[in-house]
Structure 1
Amino acid sequence: MTRLMQPLGATSPSGAWMRLLWLAVPLGVLCAALAARLAPSGAAVSVGLFVAVTALAAALMRRRYAHPRLGLCNTVTLTRAALACALVAPLAGGGFATTHSAIDARWLSVIIATVALAMDGLDGWLARRSGLSSAFGARFDMEVDAALGLILSLLVVASGTVGIWVLALGTMRYAYVLAGLFLPWLNAPLPERFRRKALCVVQIGALIVLLIPGLGALGATLIATSATLALAGSFGADILWLARRRRT
């Protein structure tokens, strides 16, 4: 979940970004082990993606994170990033049909995604409790949430449970960001709303349920449609609020 936003800090004074890089070593091993279990042919892509994510996070932390400690909050967020990257393996390996056991791979994907979802909110709570809230941490957390949603929506399509239209559930946030490039008023700050945090959980939770083997077509369609409409309504409410603020 989104943490308390603070002004961007100066260069990390005590090398917290270096500790992030050291932390990435065991988490990279975890990512590789899970990815190999999901789809051996796609494990290298998962690990490479995690390396890229870690390098980018460390670079941004070095410039924009002013706290002296890495903290458990950023440890949790990077762990969630490792889990999300592991889920890319079936996509890079050609889908669930190419794995040794498609059913087992889907169940493992459900477990990994559930753990990542269960850890969501923990990083923000830890940041506030330890006094390590930062704009970097909030953005890192938000981007991991968005990436997890995108990856899960692609996995749902690969599983054949729901049609390609379910990608709307995983790409809505990216479409909003893209629209902001052409409509700068969409980039104005929004007031804090519990609704966004709740719907993030609904979005990820719905995608996890859609990955469960044996889910009927009717039930899957209802779940996907309901979650997509709810998320679209949330984005619509924010866009309407920004549009009204722009006019006044």
Structure 2
Amino acid sequence: MALNNTYEARLVQQETAVGAGLQILLLALLGTAIGMGPAGWLTGLAFAVATWAVLSRALHRTRPRSFGPANRVTLGRATLVGGVTALVADSFESSPPVTLFVGLTAVALILDGVDGQVARRTGTSTPLGARFDMEVDAFLILVLSVYLSMSLGPWVLLIGTMRYAFVAAARALPWLNAALPPSMARKTVAALQGVFLLLAASNLLPYPATFGIVAVALVLLIWSFGRDILWLWRTYRSQKAAVTQMLELELVPEREPVAS
């Protein structure tokens, strides 16, 4: 049995290596197609290595029996995000072909709705898969924010960094780590971020419209985060008040019965 478990773990780890290989292959194709410079190559390779290392460590810690079909879809999406990241890094030296940039990003966004469905239909939903999916989403939004900030201004970076700022704040304020209730509004706002940023990056709209749609995306994101933070704060305060009341009741001595 131990030998079989080792064999299965080795197969799971091999899938992450295959993902890194596909990432390098995509970079080679992009390099051939557009003559990608050193910045794009180095950034793309760094993304491939980092994804492989982090995912391998997570798999080693959780030790799943198989990688799972949903995670394969997410890994494919991560490969596309790595290509988008390389193109954005290369855009500091030369503008990438808009069609290629939009095409890779659009497929990555479409697949975002596929991996979750695959996980539910195959019964392979796991905390690792959900976290993997969320991290790929967050990084794509960050990369798109960096790309748009070059034309719209640094304020766009607030969209891409807001989630990471929330995670950093949660280290100092543990009450932010509490589980949030499911919310269709939160999911909708998160999905619209990618759609709005992709539309803004496509150069299909005039500058005022592009500026406006990104501003709307930022306002929606601030509203969504603010709503969740307020819920977490109220929940924390109510739980703290309940604990305080319980302690006070335990400290109050029982009164002796009054003699008649």
For this structure pair, what is the TM-score category when the shorter chain's length is used for normalisation?
0.7 to 0.9
The one-character-per-residue Cα deviations of 1:141-180 (angstroms, maximum 9, x if unpaired) are: 000000000001101123x1x1211111111111111111
Q: Which amino acid aligns with 1:197?
A: K
2:148·2:201 contact (CA, 8 Å) conserved in 1? Answer: yes
TM-score normalised by length of structure 2: 0.81
Opposite residue 26 of structure 2, the aligned amino acid is L
Q: 2:81 aligns with which of 63, 81, 84?
A: 84
Instruction: Choose the corresponding residue for 1:230, options 220, 224, 227.
Output: 220
Give the one of 183, 188, 205 matched to 1:198: 188
TM-score (ref. length: structure 1): 0.85
Measure, in 2, the Cα distance between the counterparts of 1:111 and 1:44.
Answer: 22
| 2:192–2:217 Cα contact (<8 Å) kept | yes
Q: Which has the larger radius of gyration?
A: 2
Q: Is residue 23–residue 82 contact of structure 2 (8 Å, CA) maintained in 1?
A: no
SS at 2:180 equivalent: coil
Rounded Cα–Cα distance in structure 1 between residues aligned with 2:31 and 2:174: 39
> Which residue does the alignment assign to 1:7?
none
| Correspondent of 1:175 among 133, 151, 165 | 165
Could you tell me how far apart the structure 1 residues matched to 2:99 and 2:149 are? 15
Taking the aligned partners of 1:180 and 1:35, their CA distance within structure 2 comes to 40
What are the ranges of 5 or more consecutive residues in structure 2 without an aligned counterpart?
239-260
* Superposed CA RMSD: 2.0
Identity %: 37
The Cα shift of 1:130 comes to: 1.4
What residue number does 2:70 align with? Answer: 73
Q: Which residue of 2 aligns with 1:153?
A: 145
Distance 1:48 1:198 in 2: 31
Shift of 1:202: 0.4
What residue ranges of structure 1 are gaps of 5+ in the alignment? 1-10
Which whole-Å CA distance do the structure 1 matches of 2:27 and 2:113 have between them? 21
Describe the SS at the equivalent of 1:88. helix
Partner SS, residue 192 of structure 1 = coil
Larger proportion of helix: 2
Query: What letter corresponds to residue 230 of structure 1 in structure 2?
Result: L
Letter in 1 for 2:119: A
Q: Which amino acid aligns with 1:111?
A: G
Checking the alignment, whether the CA contact within 8 Å between 2:196 and 2:214 is kept in structure 1 is yes
Q: Give the residue type in structure 2 aligned to 1:185.
A: W
Matches of 2:63 and 2:118, distance apart in 1: 16
Q: State how far apart, in whole Å, the 1-side matches of 2:148 and 2:34 are.
A: 15
Deviations 1:103-132 (A, max 9, x none): x62331111111100000211111121121
Q: Is the 8 A contact 1:35 1:86 kept in 2?
A: no
How far is 1:65 from its partner? 4.3
- Answer whether contact 1:91 1:155 (CA < 8 A) is retained: yes
2:248 match: none
Bigger relative CO (Cα 8 Å, ≥ 6 apart): 1
Q: Does the alignment pair 1:93 with 2:90?
A: yes
